[in-house]
Amino acid sequence: MAIVKPFKALRPPKQLAEKVASPPYDVLNSDEARELANDNPHSFLHIVKPEIDLDPSIDLYDQRVYDQARKNLDDFKQNQWLVQDEKECFYLYRQIMGDHEQIGLVAAASVDEYDKDLIKKHEHTRKVKEDDRTNHIMSLKANTGPVFLTYRAKQNLDQFIANFIENHQPENDFTSVDGIVHTLWKVCDENDVHKIQNMFDEIDLLYVADGHHRSAAASRAEKLLEQKNPHHTGEEHYNYFLTVIFPDNQMKIMDYNRVVTDLNNLSEKEFLDKIQQKFSLTELNPDDPEQMKPQQPNQFLMYLDHKFYRLDAKRGSWNPQDPVEALDVSILQNNLLHPILGIGNPREDQRIDFVGGIRGIKELVKLVDSGKFQVAFALYPVAIEQLMNIADTGNVMPPKSTWFEPKLRSGLFIHLLE
């Protein structure tokens, strides 16, 4: 069973929701966040990227940064830019990006289920980022950024949510500057709350789609707060963390592409010859836009020296029975990036960078043509079922395998731990 709990969200009033809502903390660097929030004192970036209100010379992980976040949160509450609901509720959060629509349940999920691996993971976390999010949670005593969860869709739950939003007025409804429509409903009626909880009782597992560091930090914060509480019961708010939970049939995973600075001391001809040991190589017509992306799994688009190539992985160059080796990111890494370009650890190698598919093929061309990178690879997106299978088998995906869109806005709902 999947435990989900309603909670009293700290939220912006209707008239401020659009001004408060911000991109997640980890999709902007400090300079980008500072510029975006420059003329907007209501922006939630002041809480999730509090360094923008401090001298840029201060280290991102300095305690003064977390203290500033706490001060800003207190100020938002004092100014009533954020107001806590009086009743415990669930919330429904719909996002529309172009022709894609997804509707998730905003709920508090169980740290205990996370610890018991009933909430499945598919990525390793980095200690420095875990420390950062843990310090942020402990300083604010709040989860400010939701973890993006998914589950194998249930028709009765899909139908309940569809019926609810058809018959209720939303709390918030606005379009962000990137053209994505964000709509929020409250679910406070006790009968509706119980119906949702009963339907989640029938769901065996939840999966972390995006937010591995936030969920790991929530678990660490729970242990710290439990140690400080001699009367711990397991029902305190810190035993739960902020999530938005979407059915897998509504998930949109985009490609996560690669650019590399050089050809590892190979000439262009040597590089192309080596590629053909494990891939079939076809030069493409750049005037045909339909060819300018991989059309199926195990196929890649490469941009090199103002030319586009299609790379089709040859059979036998990977193990189709291994859920990790069969991923396109693994096929590219194991058959090209590592043995030919010398990228042994893509998580640490400074010669490789990663570009979310939302930026399109034009961004890859721009980066290579700028001279900063020499070659780019576009991949076919990972399927949500591949992600779940890897999590189910206890494996982890290679770094930078999935790019989820649309991103969840921060600041529309906060989960207080006290």
161-195 tens-digit pLDDT: 999 999 999 999 999 999 999 999 999 999 999 99
Is residue 290 predicted with pLDDT exceeding 90?
Answer: no
The fold of the 256-380 domain, in CATH, is: 3.30.1760
Q: In this model, does residue 140 exceed pLDDT 80?
A: yes
Which tokens is 393 given?
């088998």
Give the pLDDT mean for 245-263: 96
The residue with tokens 């206890």 is 394
Residue 400, pLDDT > 90, answer no
Cβ atoms of 406 and 95 within 8 Å: the answer is: yes
The residues, ordered by sequence, that sit 6+ positions from 358 with a Cβ below 8 Å of its Cβ are 254, 403, 405
Residue spans of the domains in the chain: they are: 4-252+406-416, 256-380
Residue 205 is predicted with a pLDDT of 97
Check pLDDT > 80 for residue 288: no
How many residues appear in the chain? 418
At residue 4, what are phi and psi to the nearest 5 degrees? -130, 140
Q: Could you give the CA distance from residue 257 to residue 10 in angstroms, rounded to a whole number?
A: 37
pLDDT at residue 307, as a whole number: 95
In this structure, of 33-47, 52-66, 286-300, 313-327, the range with the lowest mean pLDDT score is 286-300
Q: Can you give the pLDDT at residue 295? A: 93
Residues 6+ apart with CB under 8 A from 64: 54, 58
Whole-angstrom distance, CA of residue 390 vs CA of residue 253: 15
The pLDDT score that the predictor gives to residue 399 is 83
Q: In the block, which residue shows the tokens 């903390």?
A: 25
Average pLDDT over residues 280-303: 89
Question: What percent of the chain clears pLDDT 70, i.e. is strictly above it?
Answer: 100
For residue 126, name the pLDDT band (cuts at 50, 70, 90): confident
**CB count, 10 Å around CB of 344?**
11
Q: Tell me which amino acid residue 397 is.
A: M
Tell me, what's the pLDDT at 260? 98
Is residue 347 very low, low, confident or very high in pLDDT (cuts 50, 70, 90)?
confident
Q: What is the pLDDT of residues 66-99, one digit of tens each?
A: 999 999 999 999 999 999 999 999 999 999 999 9
| Residue 152 and residue 144 in contact, taking contact as beta carbons nearer than 8 Å | no
Confidence of residue 389 (pLDDT cuts 50, 70, 90): very high
CA of 35: how far to CAs of 2, 31, 75, 288, 374, in Å?
Answer: 40, 6, 21, 38, 30
Q: Give the model's pLDDT for residue 291.
A: 74
Confidence at residue 286, expressed as pLDDT on a 0 to 100 scale: 82
Give the tokens for residue 233: 């019961």
The full DSSP string for 196-256 is: HHHHHHT---EEEEE-HHHHHHHHHHHHHHHHH-TT--S-SGGGEEEEEEEEGGG--EE-E
Average pLDDT over all residues of the chain: 96
**pLDDT at residue 42, rounded to an integer:** 98
- Is the pLDDT reported for residue 265 higher than 80? yes
Portion of the chain with pLDDT greater than 90, in percent: 93
Q: What is the pLDDT of residue 292?
A: 82
Residue 197, pLDDT score:
98
Q: Collect all residues with Cβ–Cβ distance below 8 Å to 257 and sequence separation of at least 6.
A: 354, 355, 356, 357, 364, 376, 377, 378, 379
pLDDT over 80 (residue 62):
yes
Question: Whose CA is closest to 110, among 242, 245, 225?
Answer: 242
Can you give the pLDDT at residue 241? 98
3 or 126: which leads in pLDDT: 3
